[in-house]
Amino acid sequence: MTKKILFITNYRSEVGGISGQVDILMNNLDKALFQCTILNTKLGIIKRFLLFFRSTKSFKNADFIHIHCCSNFGGFFPAIFGITLGKFFRKKIILTYHGGDADNFISKNKNIVLFFLKKVDKIVILSNFLEKIFLKFNLESTVIPNIKEISVGESKNKTRINPHFISTRALEKLYNIDVILKAFAEVQTIYPNATLTILGSGTEKENLINFCDQKGLLNVNFVGKVPNFEVNNYLIKNDILLSAPKIDNFPISLLEAFENELLVISSNVGGVPNLIDNYENGLLFENENVKDLVNMIIFALENQSESLKMIKIARIGLEKYSWKGNSELFIKLYK
């Protein structure tokens, strides 16, 4: 008998992130066994309120409610909404928690967040980093990583990496793009032809552009926001992904870089060490430490054989994040 799964999240098509993970589940769950639909909660306040009355049919017809939420009240609304109606209609509720700021978010809003989280049947988190945080609040969880739809063809067999850098995170304070620019400014004094491509948009864009103007930085290209399916077109033109978030859980952007054979240099925060084993499949630098990032970049460029080896190991390791490698874990959720 076909099981009906109602996915609830703040959904936006073709943007990756949480929405991308829901798309992957929708596309890969056996259509003969599972009938999946999405209930989008990314709405204005009034429309969100009306959802409680307009969605009763969707809940009645579902066998499972699978909520995807994260660490802010806008991102946690799918949990509040889904759990409230899910319990009312006595449905089995699965909740996947995204977002590296869980400790801070739950601590500041302990009563309301724990009230809802303790009502679900199963909690899924993406990393051992989050698992430890949830245990701190006496919440049992199952670790299932983000899934990367792997389209790895033949290896490019790179023989060299060049000082062509790219950043793919939003231009917000959380992601420390200013740290990347400060490091790039120092690196460019050694490698004058170095380039930096910055994807994404955000509230820090003007400040970041002003910094480049003040420093007279050359070869920095602010591309802006691009559809998720176009990101690979930019990755393949570069050699090193720079990622400097203050906190993170399971950034799919690192897996995208692995797939496209870029060396990843990231801040050593949150769940990132679950993805990167330092000097094995990428490089980690101390959070917000510009000098440490500069040193890692110079190491990568001056030690070509080590960097190329890390790129190969990272690419091979992608299999553990594939649907094939994790499908049984998801199917068990719906039993």
Chain segment 122-151, per-residue pLDDT in tens: 999 999 999 999 999 999 999 999 998 776
| 8 and 109 together in one domain | yes
The per-residue pLDDT for 158 is 84
The per-residue pLDDT for 12 is 85
The per-residue pLDDT for 264 is 98
Q: Is residue 328 part of a domain?
A: no
Q: Is residue 158 part of a domain?
A: no
Residues 253-281 have a mean pLDDT of 96
Number of structural domains in the chain: 2
CATH of the domain at 112: 3.40.50.2000
Residues 260-265 have a mean pLDDT of 96
Place of tokens 């759990």: 83
Q: Is residue 90 part of a domain?
A: yes
More confident site: 18 or 32: 18
Q: Is residue 153 part of a domain?
A: no
CA 15 to chain centroid, in Å, comes to: 11
The per-residue pLDDT for 155 is 67
The per-residue pLDDT for 154 is 61
| 215 and 102 together in one domain | no
Domain boundary at 144, 173, 204, which?
A: 144
Q: What are phi and psi of 24, to 5 degrees?
A: -65, -45
The whole-angstrom separation of Cα 319 and Cα 157 is 19
| 187 and 140 together in one domain | no
Q: At what angle do helices 290-302 and 304-316 cross, to 10 degrees?
A: 100
More confident site: 36 or 158: 36
| 313 and 184 together in one domain | yes
The whole-angstrom separation of Cα 162 and Cα 17 is 29
Residues 49-61 have a mean pLDDT of 95
Chain segment 206-218, per-residue pLDDT in tens: 999 999 999 999 9
Domain boundary at 144, 177, 200, which?
A: 144
The per-residue pLDDT for 153 is 59
| 137 and 19 together in one domain | yes
Q: Is residue 136 part of a domain?
A: yes
Residues 92-111 have a mean pLDDT of 94
| 119 and 185 together in one domain | no
Chain segment 279-300, per-residue pLDDT in tens: 999 999 999 999 999 999 999 9
| 131 and 196 together in one domain | no
| 269 and 302 together in one domain | yes
> In which domain, by residue range, is 307 found?
164-319
| 82 and 219 together in one domain | no
Asked if pLDDT for residue 98 goes beyond 80, the answer is yes
Provide the pLDDT confidence category of residue 221 given band limits of 50, 70 and 90.
very high
Residues 229-254 have a mean pLDDT of 94
Asked if pLDDT for residue 87 goes beyond 70, the answer is yes
Q: Is residue 159 part of a domain?
A: no
Q: Is residue 79 part of a domain?
A: yes
| 170 and 80 together in one domain | no
Asked if pLDDT for residue 152 goes beyond 80, the answer is no
Alpha-carbon separation of residue 5 from 31, 78, 324 (angstroms): 11, 15, 20
Three-state SS letters, 118-174: CCCCEEEECCHHHHHHHHHCCCCCEECCCCCCCCCCCCCCCCCCCCEEEECCCCCHH
Provide the pLDDT confidence category of residue 196 given band limits of 50, 70 and 90.
very high
Q: Is residue 330 part of a domain?
A: no
| 139 and 197 together in one domain | no
| 132 and 196 together in one domain | no
Mean per-residue pLDDT over the chain, rounded: 94
